[in-house]
Amino acid sequence: MNYSIVIPAYNEADKITSSLTQAVSFMKTFCDSFEIIVVDDGSKDATASLVEEYSKDNPEVKVIRNPHKGKGFAVYTGMMEARGDLIYMADADLSAPMTELKKLAVWVVDQDFDIAIATREGVGAERIGEPFYRHIMGRVFNLIIQIVALPGIRDSQCGFKLFKGKVAKDIFSRLRVYGKETKELSKPYTGAWDVEVLYLAKKLGYNVKQVPIVWTHVKTTRVSPVRDSVKMLFDVLKIRFNDLRGLYKSAH
Cβ contact 101:75 at 8 Å: no
Give the pLDDT confidence score for residue 222 in this predicted structure.
Answer: 62
Q: Which helix (H) or strand (E) holds 40?
A: strand 34-41
Give the pLDDT confidence score for residue 123 in this predicted structure.
Answer: 80
How far apart are alpha carbons 18 and 144 in whole angstroms? 36
Give the pLDDT confidence score for residue 5 in this predicted structure.
Answer: 98
The per-residue pLDDT for range 95-109, each reduced to its tens digit, is 899 999 999 999 999
Fill in the amino acid letter for 206: Y
pTM of the model: 0.93
Nearest to 10 by CA among 55, 48, 37, 56: 48
Q: Which residues of the chain have pLDDT under 70?
A: 220-225, 250-252
Alpha helices in 8-70 (DSSP H): 16-30, 47-57
Give the pLDDT confidence score for residue 136 in this predicted structure.
Answer: 82
Alpha helices in 31-131 (DSSP H): 47-57, 71-81, 101-105
Ramachandran class of 248: left when φ > 0, alpha when ψ lies in -120 to 50, beta otherwise: beta
Fill in the amino acid letter for 136: I
How far apart are alpha carbons 36 and 63 in whole angstroms? 8
How open is the CA angle 67-24-19, to the nearest 5 degrees? 55
Q: Which domains does the chain have, with CATH numbers?
A: 3-244 (3.90.550.10)
How far apart are alpha carbons 97 and 54 in whole angstroms? 20
